[in-house]
Amino acid sequence: MKSAKLICLVILLAFLASTLSAPVASSSQDRIEQRVNALLARMTLEEKLGQLQQLDGEANGNFRPEHLQMARQGLLGSTLNVRGAQKTNQLQRIAVTESRLKIPLIFGFDVIHGYRTIFPIPLGEAASWDPAAAERAAGIAAAEARAAGVHWTFAPMVDIARDPRWGRITEGSGEDPYLGSLMARARVRGFQGSDYSAQDKIVACAKHWVAYGAAEAGRDYNTTDVSERTLREVYFPPFKAAVDAGVGTFMSAFNDLNGVPSSANPFTLTEVLRGEWKFDGFVVSDYTSVEELMKHGLATNGADAAREALSAGVDMEMVSRLYNKHAGELLKDRQLSQQTIDEAVRRILRVKFRLGLFDKPYADEALEPAAIFNSANVAAARDIAARSIVLLKNERQVLPLDKTVRSIALIGPLADSRQDMLGSWNGDGKVEDAVTLLQGIKSKLPQVRINYAKGCEVNSGKTDGFEEALRAARESDVTIIAVGESADMSGEAASRSSLDLPGRQLELVKAVQATGKPIVVVLMNGRPLTINWLAENSPAILETWFGGSQAGNAIADVLFADVNPGGKLPVTFPRAVGQIPLYYNHKNTGRPPDAKNKYTSKYLDVDWRPLFPFGYGLSYTQFKITNLQLSAQRIPLNGKLTVTVEVENTGKRAGDEVVQLYIRDVAASVTRPVKELKGFQRVTLQPGEKKRVEFVLTAEQLGIWNRQMRFTVEPGEFKVMVGANSEDLLETALEVEKR
Residue 579 per-residue DSSP state: G
Q: Which of 154, 191, 466, 612 binds ligand NOJ (CB under 6 A)?
A: 154
Geometric angle at alpha carbon 278, from 272 and 279, rounded to 5°: 90
Residue 141 phi, psi (nearest 5): -60, -40
Q: Which one of the listed residues 110, 176, 256, 286 is annotated catalytic?
A: 286
Note the maximum CA span of the chain: 99
Q: Considering beta carbons, is residue 223 or 732 the nearer one to ligand NOJ?
A: 223
Annotated active-site residue 244? The verdict is: no
Q: Considering beta carbons, is residue 286 or 315 the nearer one to ligand NOJ?
A: 286
Q: How far is the CB of 286 from ligand NOJ (least distance, A)?
A: 5
Q: Which of 488, 492, 507, 727 binds ligand NOJ (CB under 6 A)?
A: 492
Q: How far is the CB of 209 from ligand NOJ (least distance, A)?
A: 11
Cβ atoms 341, 330 nearer than 8 A: no
Q: How far is the CB of 207 from ligand NOJ (least distance, A)?
A: 6
Residues 363-422 contacting ligand NOJ, CB under 6 A: none
Q: Considering beta carbons, is residue 215 or 305 the nearer one to ligand NOJ?
A: 215
Q: How far is the CB of 423 from ligand NOJ (least distance, A)?
A: 14
| CA–CA gap between residue 625 and residue 141 (Å, rounded) | 36
Omega cis (within 30) before 687: no
Q: Considering beta carbons, is residue 492 or 648 the nearer one to ligand NOJ?
A: 492
Handedness of CA 557, 145, 366, 194 (dihedral sign): negative
Q: Considering beta carbons, is residue 33 or 220 the nearer one to ligand NOJ?
A: 220
Q: How many residues bind ligand NOJ (CB under 6 A)?
A: 7
| CA–CA gap between residue 737 and residue 513 (Å, rounded) | 58
Residue 724 phi, psi (nearest 5): -95, -5
Residue 619 makes CB contacts below 8 A (sequence gap 6+) with: 391, 564, 565, 566, 651, 655, 656, 657
Q: How far is the CB of 287 from ligand NOJ (least distance, A)?
A: 4
Q: How far is the CB of 111 from ligand NOJ (least distance, A)?
A: 10
214 alpha carbon, distance to own chain's centre: 16
Q: Considering beta carbons, is residue 55 or 734 the nearer one to ligand NOJ?
A: 55
Binding mask 94-123 for ligand NOJ (x = CB under 6 A): ----------------x-------------
| CA–CA gap between residue 168 and residue 158 (Å, rounded) | 11
Residue 704 makes CB contacts below 8 A (sequence gap 6+) with: 233, 665, 668, 669, 670, 672, 711, 712, 713, 714
Q: Which of 36, 70, 75, 80 binds ligand NOJ (CB under 6 A)?
A: 80
Binding mask 35-74 for ligand NOJ (x = CB under 6 A): ----------------------------------------
DSSP string, 583-599: -TT-B--SS---TT-TT
Q: Are strands 704-705 and 634-635 parallel, antiparallel or unpaired?
A: unpaired
Q: Considering beta carbons, is residue 129 or 154 the nearer one to ligand NOJ?
A: 154
Residues 271-310 contacting ligand NOJ, CB under 6 A: 286-287
Q: Which of 207, 393, 418, 568 binds ligand NOJ (CB under 6 A)?
A: 207
Q: Does 161 bind ligand NOJ (CB under 6 A)?
A: no
3-state DSSP assignment of residue 402: coil
Q: How far is the CB of 125 from ligand NOJ (least distance, A)?
A: 17
- Smallest CA-to-CA distance from 180 within 121, 115, 123 is with 123
Which residues does the annotation mark as catalytic?
A: 286
**Residues of this chain that bind ligand NOJ (CB under 6 A):** 80, 110, 154, 207, 286-287, 492
